[in-house]
Each structure stands twice: as structure tokens, then as C-alpha cells.
Copies of this chain bind each other. A is one copy, B any other.
């Protein structure tokens, strides 16, 4: 038995609790009620590259809702070709997470949305005020903010984006249909994979409606150490280089701990892990079995579990493209350095 770096303090959960279908409703904070107008504004902002300094990067650049909600890259690319340090988490079903970012440093979607625009290697805007000034100069935005919120502000921008993101939920995956009674929705191989997924202990962490842990109060995270067991993978993939939640709390107990990521739509969010270093889901399953459960899987066992994970890809709702408001006869990005 390899050295256990951090003792697991997780009770085994029963199948009924561990694996649940996705809900049709998402939690909505009392201070940011949903409305059609707000969602539409949020969608415009989400797709608007003018939220970045040079007009090249929108929320959608790294969290592509036309695909798996991420960007297919190990780590994201911001303005001027700069690379971030972590793999972009998918925006799909982010509304069902109790905290945001890999390290849980944002309690809400609203808080999360305020990060990237001001991050110098992501969208690079110099200040909240600069974002507000830019948006205020676009009459179509000004009018919508005034009507919906009473005023245009950075916080209200984040609220609108969060409202749009709460519509990005993928229901009715083969797994959901299966647990809702459609026995034909999953193949025998996938059903076997689901049983193995539970038996070897994946559900110790990847449980609940989002396969991201037990239900938590919004704003409270479910964190786990990764890598937990020492293995060749730690060095091969630099798994412990990024200290994870420790970078937020500076508490040594949080070293290399991470918000347990959702497994929904995992088949469409390659590459994997916080540093995006593993390119295929098959290898990811093996790395997880070895590093988190001290189990080495056979090829056929991996295939079974991957067949199960493939059933977690939900239905992506058809969306209309937003129209981005402009300034008649005037360029915005072209006139701002």
C-alpha cells in the first residue's frame, strides 16, 4: 500500500444518493432574479470580445458554449497570446456548482464573472471603471442596463452574465434517462462501467447531481487532495506543482487540494486535470484510479468506465446568437489603447 498523503474523511454513500439525475431547475440567488431581458443582456456580454482590452477575447473564447463549454486546450490563451496556468472549466452546468474556479475562490457565478475581465493575462482590462466606461459608451448596453438594473456597473455586468450562465444546463443525458427509468438509454458496457465506477470508489467524491460531490450550501466548496497517492504520474504530469486551494487560503492543509470537478459532459471537455496535461479520457481514468484510489485498472475496466462517462454528455439547448450592440459610425476597440 502506498503512502496516503491525506486521509480521506468521506463516508461511503449509497448508490441512490451518489448518482442522481440532473435537475431542471438551478439555484438562483435572491439578489439576482432571472428575467428574459437580463439573460439576453448576459448572453450579449458573454459573447462580446470588447470585454477584453484589445477586443480579441470574450467569455466564450475560453468557455465555448457551442462546444463543450471549454476551449480544447491545456491552458487558455488570453490577450496578446498569453497563456493561463489552469485548464478552463466548462461553463455548462457551472450553475450547479457550489463554488467556482478550480480552487473555489469564487462563491458564486457572479463573483466568478468579475475575475477574467480584469485578469492581465486573460482579458486585461485595467479596472472595473474601465469596463464600465467602455460598456457605457455603447448605447445599446447602456439602455439595457438602465432598464434591467437601474444602472450600468461592473457588478451588474457580472449579474447579467451569471443569469445567462444559469440557463446553460444540459439535461437528459443517457445517464439521466437511464436513472429516470429508460433501461435502453445505456449500453451494457456503460452499465458495467457505472457499477465499477461506484465499486472502486469514484463516487466517494464524484457523487450528486453534478458528479462533483455531495450537496453543499452555495458558497461552500467540496475540496479533495489531488494527487492523493504517490505514483509515477505525479512527476510525469507535474500534478503537484500547482498548490491549488493553498494559493487562496495559504493554509498548508489546503496544499494540492481542489474543488472536485463535475464529470458531466466530461467526454467533451478534454484535455483533463487542472493543468490540462492529460489528453484523453481513457488515460485520465487510469490516472485518477491510481492517484486517488490506489487502484490500477485493466484496459477493459477503463473502457467500461469511459463508456459510462460518455453517458454523462447531456443535451445542449438550442440557442439563438446574440446581437452585439455597437456605436453607430464609431469603433470602440480601435480607439482605445
Contacts and interface: CB of A to CB of B under 8 A. Distances in A.
A281 B77 contact: no
B268 A326 contact: yes
A328 B81 contact: no
A66 B326 contact: no
A50 B270 CA distance: 14
How many copies of the chain does the oligomer comprise? 2
Contacts of A54: 73, 77
Interface stretch (A20-28, A195-203, A248-256, A315-323): A315-323
Given A68-B326, A281-B330, A331-B271, A319 B321 contact: yes
Contacts of A81: 79-81
Contacts of A74: 331, 334
A326 B50 contact: no
Interface string A59-80: 0010011111001111001011
Interface residue SS majority, chain A = loop
A34 to B, nearest CB: 20
Q: Could you say which interface size class chain A belongs to?
A: 35 or more
From A66, A68, A80, name the one whose CB has the most chain B CB atoms within 10 angstroms. A66
A276 B330 CA distance: 11
16 contacts: A49-B64, A50-B72, A54-B73, A72-B326, A73-B334, A80-B81, A267-B328, A270-B330, A271-B334, A276-B334, A280-B330, A313-B328, A316-B323, A318-B320, A319-B320, A319-B321
What are the 10 closest A-B residue pairs judged by CB atoms, nearest first?
A281-B329, A270-B331, A271-B331, A81-B81, A271-B334, A67-B324, A80-B81, A267-B328, A72-B333, A279-B335
A50 to B, nearest CB: 7
Given A80-B81, A276-B334, A310-B329, 8 more contacts: A67-B326, A73-B331, A73-B333, A267-B329, A268-B328, A279-B334, A310-B328, A316-B323
